Amino acid sequence: MKRNHLLTIAAGAVLAFAPTLSAQSRLSVVATTPDLAALAQVIGGTRVDVKALAKPTEDPHFVDAKPSHIVTLNRADVLIDGGAELELGWLPPLLESARNPKIAAGAPGRIVASDKVTMLEVPTAFDRSKGDVHALGNPHFMLDPLNVKIIAAHMADHFSRVDPKSAALYQANFKAFDATLDAKLIEWQRKLAPFKGAKIVTYHKDFPYLAERFGLEVVETLEPKPGIAPSPAHMAKVISSMRAAKSRVILVQPYQNRKTAETVARQTGATVLDIPQQPGAIKNTSTYFDLMDYMIGSLATALQATP
Ligand SMILES: [Zn+2]
């Protein structure tokens, strides 16, 4: 209730003070999450000012909606969201208050990353009342570099439509990024090749795309369903299947309950691995490539250390 009240006040402030058009010559690009923002910066280069709404240490499903987000969205030329209901819990009311037709669904200024991605784990039947937050399939597709390629091309296409005079620059930036990604993917695949079939555990169901691309297997998640806190009964099941599968690594994000992971780790001889998937959550990971280098490197080190 408190949050809705704040949003109403902020909507009034936006209407009173915001300019109707972006005064800057550069495109004002807003991304819901830092990973999409980092990618937009590479593709947009000097022609864009990019802001992320979520902090790198915030759960993308449950971002704290602030009045300042409404102002940011009201002034945006382009909005990039993950889609597939990743931001269902917080973005729709912000967009409603921001009243910006440039970033409405279907406008050239709206890029929904999931639109071009083949989704994993699309449920055949779904009961939202149980609290599962992956109603349209798994929205954590940025962890597969081949999806990042697709989304980068999608961004270059939309930036070119919104700002046609810089289209050649956006396409050149995409080509350069794409070539680097091809080379890095070979390097990352080589690094994880010795661990094909390794069985990992994650807190949330956020690693299936990475696991599939690099030949790892997610055997359990500490959450019984995406978005539902671990229960004692579920933890007991996780512990027994981790023992059976000889799974020795539990991956956690900065916004997840590390104590729960540590409890399970103590009973299974596993290591808890902090492996943030948003650029900037820890030092020296502010670009997509730095972040992936860190993630792949940490995974390889952790898996090497486990029998
Ligand atoms: Zn999720």
Strand order in the sheet with 217-221: 217-221, 199-202, 249-252, 271-274
Distance (angstroms) between ligand 1 centre and the Cα of 162 equals: 30
Distance (angstroms) between ligand 1 centre and the Cα of 188 equals: 24
State the helix-helix crossing angle for 2-17 and 91-98, rounded to 10 degrees.
Answer: 30
Distance (angstroms) between ligand 1 centre and the Cα of 258 equals: 17
Q: Which residues contact 187 (CB under 8 A, 6 or more apart)?
A: none
Distance (angstroms) between ligand 1 centre and the Cα of 207 equals: 9
Distance (angstroms) between ligand 1 centre and the Cα of 140 equals: 6
Distance (angstroms) between ligand 1 centre and the Cα of 234 equals: 18
Distance (angstroms) between ligand 1 centre and the Cα of 35 equals: 15
Q: What is the DSSP string of 79-97?
A: EEE--TTTTTTTHHHHHHH
Which of the 8 DSSP states describes residue 101?
Answer: G
* Interstrand relation of 78-81 and 110-112 (parallel, antiparallel or unpaired): parallel
Residues 112 and 298: their CA atoms lie apart, in Å, by 30
Model pTM? Answer: 0.91
Distance (angstroms) between ligand 1 centre and the Cα of 134 equals: 6
3-class SS letters over 19-79? CCCCCCCCEEEEECCHHHHHHHHHHHHHHEEEEECCCCCCCCCCCCCCHHHHHHHHCCCEE
Distance (angstroms) between ligand 1 centre and the Cα of 254 equals: 14
Q: What is the pLDDT along the chain (307 residues), one digit of tens a residue?
A: 344 444 444 444 444 444 434 445 899 999 999 999 999 999 999 999 999 999 999 999 999 999 999 999 999 999 999 999 999 999 999 999 999 999 999 999 999 999 999 999 998 887 776 778 999 999 999 999 999 999 999 999 999 999 999 999 999 999 999 999 999 999 999 999 999 999 999 999 999 999 999 999 999 999 999 999 999 999 999 999 999 999 999 999 999 999 999 999 999 999 999 999 999 999 999 999 999 999 999 999 999 987 6
Residue 299 contacts residue 273 (beta carbons within 8 Å): yes
> What protein residues have CB closer than 5 angstroms to ion ligand 1?
226
Distance (angstroms) between ligand 1 centre and the Cα of 167 equals: 34
Distance (angstroms) between ligand 1 centre and the Cα of 205 equals: 6
End-to-end CA, the chain: 50
Side chain identity, residue 227: G
